[in-house]
Amino acid sequence: MISNALSAVWARVIFRRHNVKIRNINLGEKPVLLAPMEDVTDQAFRLLCKEFGASMVYSEFVSADALIRNVNRSLEKIRVDDRERPVAIQIYGRDVPSMVEAAKIVESEAHPDILDINFGCPVKKVAGKGAGAGMLRNVPLMLDITREVVKAVSIPVTVKTRLGWDVPSLYAELGMRNEELGIDTHSPAEHSIPHSSFLIPNSKTPFIVELAEQLQDCGIEALTIHGRTRSQMYQGEADWTLIGEVKRNPRMHIPIIGNGDICTAEQAADAFSRYGVDAVMIGRATFGQPWLFKDVRTYLDTGLHDETMTLDWKMDVLKRQVKKSVEYSLREDNALKERKRTELGGIMHVRRHLANSPLFKGIPDFRQTRVKILRAETQEELFALLDEAKERILGIAENR
């Protein structure tokens, strides 16, 4: 777990100053990246996060099969605006031919800076079919896909994955058969084990350390590791100790990017100083606060929080996010489904971000307002609800 209470974090962070590069792409010192998230990191949101200091942004993940079938929604996901560069497009699939073809489509049609392969998505509709984190149960195929995708494109290829399939696999040797791990590859049954079961004797090289080496040998140029197993989904706490072990492996020479439970500037600083990662990736913590990148960047560079971000400023940012989402949905040249090419389409996409904004934590009886936000259908409705929330926050401050 990354500590929330850190007294001298910044002093420990500055010991290592170097620019992180993925081939010729310079991400600067201590880069902070926006994670790929389905139905979240569309172009409008990526541009906003980039504006606030994200060192690199990632697209929503895209199905290789859908790209090959020329599905409009998937083609829209790989649209790139030069203002968001450097940008990575992430693809997922479950066989070599489709992943190779999809990689070529992405490179030729979208021209991203980086192609990222998703070997970490834990949701059943992806992992249950053998893609995403499902590849953690079939490492030979994972490596074959990676090797062939690297050969197929000229841009850098990176990978995002997890610590393992479940806790028993964390210290399993890659050469072990699935039967020896107690995994039935013909059954979708879960292997859920309480988080406390991470207390396993350190008698073997961790699975992720060996896997990282093999992925590096396939030619990838950076590796992102989410500090949970697939069976954990997003439950429990991310385990950064194993991410740190990968980074400390003297045989690793590619950048290691840590992901999981980075919600504050202090936690980002702790990840760099305590675990030595080259970059951190932030995902769900950006919901309703894309300005998090601005605060993290300021803290990493100065050791201080950004005091310029007032309540008024943050509310204006949320309204801008609404406007950008609607504008994106109404663009005549987008490839969204017709029902999403409306104001309502943009509202539906953005309103759950607003409902989950940390700004509103601590407001008494906010549940009904949150429900109203989730049901709003126009910009005017959302703006009125945001104004109401702002007044309630100010009222709380005055009464303290």
Structure tokens at 76: 């829209």
Select from 303, 307, 267 the least CA-distant residue to 285: 267
Rg of the chain on CA atoms, in Å: 21
For residues 316 and 309, what is the distance between their CA atoms, to the nearest angstrom? Answer: 10
Select from 254, 260, 218, 253 the least CA-distant residue to 239: 260
The phi, psi pair for 64, rounded to 5°, reads -60, -45
For residues 117 and 226, what is the distance between their CA atoms, to the nearest angstrom? Answer: 14
| Sign of the dihedral defined by the CA atoms of residues 181, 184, 188, 189, in that order | negative
For residues 243 and 208, what is the distance between their CA atoms, to the nearest angstrom? Answer: 8
Q: β-pairing, 19-22 with 25-29?
A: antiparallel
Strands (E), 264-303: 279-282
Select from 352, 344, 351 the least CA-distant residue to 382: 351
Which long-range contacts does 141-146 make (Cβ < 8 Å, 24+ apart)? 141/94, 141/95, 141/96, 142/215, 143/214, 143/215, 143/218, 144/96, 145/93, 145/95, 145/96, 145/99, 145/117, 146/117, 146/215, 146/218, 146/219, 146/220
- Catalytic residue (choose from 49, 121, 218, 263): 121
For residues 215 and 224, what is the distance between their CA atoms, to the nearest angstrom? Answer: 11
Catalytic status, residue 218: no
For residues 327 and 343, what is the distance between their CA atoms, to the nearest angstrom? Answer: 8
Annotated catalytic residues are 121
